[in-house]
Copies of this chain bind each other. A is one copy, B any other.
Amino acid sequence: MSSIKDVAEMAQVSIATVSRYINSPERVRAPTAKRVQEAIEITGYKTNTLARNFRMGKTQQVMVVLPSIGIPFYGPIVEGVRKVADSVGYHILVMETAFNSVEFDDFTRLVISKQTDGIILLSTLSPFKETNTSTNGVRPPIVLGLESIAAELSHFPCVCINNESAAHDATQYLIGLGHRNIGFLHGLTNPGTELTKARADGFRKAMAAQDIPVNEDWVIKAPISVEGGRQAARQLLTCDSRPSAIFCANDEMALGAMFELKKAGLRVPEDVSVMGFDNMLYSEISDPPLTTIEQPADKIGEYSMRRLLQLIAGETVGNNMEIIPHRLVERQSCTKPGTGK
C-alpha cells in the first residue's frame, strides 16, 4: 500500500507538500500540484484514514444508539442524522442495545477510548447515574434524541417533541370524538426512560382535565413493540368491560393491538378506536390506516446531529432542550364511540 512518502518521492517533493496538496491545494503552486497529482494517480495513493484520525485525535464518527435496526420509526431519524453527518465528513456507527439499557459509563468509555467522537442516543440510559467512577468525571458529547425530561436532569442536550403535550393532544382528540372509556397501552421501557412516562402523564392529565376517570384495568403495561401491543390487547380483551378507544404509546403497539383486536372479531374503529404515536411508515397502510401523532423524525435526526457537532467542537450549546412541534394526523382508526352498534 503506497503511503504519502511514496508519493513525495515520486513527485520529488517533501511529504509535507503532499499533505498540503491533499488538505489545502491552494497552498501549493500549480506546477508542484500537477506533479503531486500525477504521483498520486500513478501510485494509487489513498490517504490512510487510520493515520490521519490518529494524528488528529478524532474518529470522524458518531455513534447512533438505538434499540434495534429495522424498526421503521428510526429510519427517518437516522437519515436526518446522516444528512448532516455526510455534509461534514462524518460517518455513522450504529449501536444496537437490543432493548437492553446501557450504562452511562459505557458511553464515556466509548468516547475516551476514541471509538467515537460523540453519541446520539435514541435509546435510553439505564439507572441514570452520572456519577461515573471509572472515567474520572469526563463528560462525553451526547445528545438525546427523543428523550426529554431526563435531559433536564442530566444536562445533556436534547432534541425532541413534547411527549406529554402530544399525548395530551391525542387523548383530547379521542375525548373530543365523544369517548369516555379510553384505554391506554403504556409502553414498557427501561428504567430511566421518561418518554413513556411523559406520554402516560399526558394521557392522565387530559382525562383529568375533563373529569373523566381512568379505568386502571385498561391501562396496560407492555413492551413498546408490536409484540407488546399484541400482548396488551389480549390482556385488555379479558377485562369484563372494554374501552371504546385505546391510546397506544407508539405505532408499533397500536398495530399489534389492532391485529389482536380484529382477530378477536372487533372492528376498528367501529367497535374500538385505536390511536397511535410516532407515525411510522407502516401506519399509513395499515387496515384501517392509523390515526396517530407525528414526530418529525428527520428533523429530530438533523437537529440532534447539529447539536452533537457543536458539542464535539467544544461549543457551549445554549438552550439545552430543543422542542420540535408535533402534529396529529387524522386517519381512519378513530371514530365516534357507538358507531359499531
Q: Which residues of A line the B interface, CB within 8 A?
A: 1, 41, 44, 46-51, 53-54, 57, 59, 61, 68-76, 78-79, 82, 91-94, 96, 98, 109, 112-115, 134-136, 138, 226, 230, 255-256, 258-259, 262, 281-282, 285-287
Cross-chain contact of A46 among B73, B76, B109, B281 (Cβ < 8 A): B109
Q: By DSSP majority rule, is chain A's interface helix, strand, loop, or mixed? A: mixed
Cross-chain contact of A287 among B93, B115, B287 (Cβ < 8 A): B287
Q: In the assembled complex, which residues on chain B have CB atoms less than 8 Å from the CB atom of A115?
A: 49, 91
B114 and A94 contacting across the interface, CB-CB below 8 Å: no
Given known contacts A46-B113, A285-B256, A285-B259, is B82 in contact with A74 (CB within 8 Å)? no
Can you list 11 contacts pairing A with B, beta carbon distance less than 8 Å? A44-B134, A49-B113, A50-B59, A54-B54, A68-B75, A69-B69, A70-B72, A92-B93, A255-B282, A262-B287, A286-B287
A229 closest partner in B (C-beta): B285
Once bound together, how far apart are the Cα atoms of A226 and B289, in whole Å? 14
Q: How far is the CB of A84 from the nearest CB of chain B, in Å? A: 14
B96 and A82 contacting across the interface, CB-CB below 8 Å: yes
B79 and A46 contacting across the interface, CB-CB below 8 Å: no
Once bound together, how far apart are the Cα atoms of A287 and B310, in whole Å? 46
A113 and B70 contacting across the interface, CB-CB below 8 Å: no
B259 and A48 contacting across the interface, CB-CB below 8 Å: no
Once bound together, how far apart are the Cα atoms of A46 and B94, in whole Å? 21
A1 and B79 contacting across the interface, CB-CB below 8 Å: no
Q: How far is the CB of A136 from the nearest CB of chain B, in Å? A: 4
Q: How far is the CB of A300 from the nearest CB of chain B, in Å? A: 13
Q: In the assembled complex, which residues on chain B have CB atoms less than 8 Å from the CB atom of A96?
A: 78-79, 82
Q: How far is the CB of A337 from the nearest CB of chain B, in Å? A: 22
Once bound together, how far apart are the Cα atoms of A69 and B280, in whole Å? 13
Once bound together, how far apart are the Cα atoms of A285 and B75, in whole Å? 20
Q: In the assembled complex, which residues on chain B have CB atoms less than 8 Å from the CB atom of A41?
A: 134
Q: In the assembled complex, which residues on chain B have CB atoms less than 8 Å from the CB atom of A112?
A: 1, 44, 46
Once bound together, how far apart are the Cα atoms of A109 and B138, in whole Å? 35
Additional A-B contacts beyond A1-B112, A256-B285 (4; CB < 8 A) = A44-B136, A51-B54, A69-B79, A70-B74
Cross-chain contact of A70 among B46, B91, B281, B286 (Cβ < 8 A): B281
Q: In the assembled complex, which residues on chain B have CB atoms less than 8 Å from the CB atom of A114?
A: 48-51
